[in-house]
Amino acid sequence: VTGETWTGKEVIARAIHHNSQRKANRFVAINCGAIPETLLEAELFGAVRGAYTGATQDRTGKFEYANKGTLFLDEVGTMSPALQAKLLRAVQEREFERLGDSKTIKVDVRVIAATNADIPKLIAEGSFREDLYWRLNVVSVKLPPLRDRREDIPILVKHFFEKFASGRGVQASQGAMRALMAYSWPGNIRQLENELQRAHVMSGSEASISRSCLSPSLLNVSEEGEGAAVDKTGALK
């Protein structure tokens, strides 16, 4: 799954999992870019006691924990070449060893990888294994940025207001929706969620979020060419 940061790559991964025969089993997510390389191997494959400093007990890795389910590897492009080789074997052979152990563990895991990096460019630079890329890239899903799929904004607005307002029927006014549709959203869905949470707080107990509840950066957008028209419910016409 590829796309800019915060375009909803994990949402896609969860949707794949929950609409598959693996839905009764675990969905396990790990951000490869947020964990130091020295610890990432143990996070993925587990470790036995004494395998490294601080390993006071056996540790189950994410591959083993996700057995029969789905493992989501976010920001896989940040992984070191050495760890990429171990990941390739785990994906291809469906087996691995815990750090510090010689016992082979076999698993049945669907792996979904995501990145905002240009993997072919990383391959050309020698920082990403081409064989791993082709092993992971069986089915490719490219998520466009929110600015290129503005028709999703009313649906997302409805979803987030239901989340923030606990089903109280809060919705955006036509003026607010026009501003939301006109904005370019450089931070994609995460930025939209934060903006709507702010607007909900600013509105108090009002059932309709007005344009004045939005951030100045949105309100500075002119009324001309503000994107698609919306009806009274906030849906696209």
Answer yes or no: is pLDDT of 222 > 60.
Answer: no
Q: How far apart are CA 183 and CA 222, in angstroms?
A: 10
Give the CA count within 13 Å in the CB-facing half-sphere of 188: 14
State residue 229's pLDDT score.
41
Task: Read off the pLDDT of each residue in 80-99 and give the average, rounded to a whole number.
Answer: 95
Q: Which residue has the tokens 């004494």?
A: 50
pTM: 0.84
Which pLDDT band holds residue 221 (cuts at 50, 70, 90)?
A: low
* Cα–Cα distance for residue pair 15/7, rounded to 1 Å: 14
Cβ atoms within 10 Å, residue 194: 14
Distance CA 221, CA 42 (A): 48
Q: What is the pLDDT of residue 179?
A: 93
Q: pLDDT (tens digit, 9 = 90+) per residue, 158-210?
A: 999 988 877 677 899 999 999 999 999 999 999 999 999 999 999 887 788 99
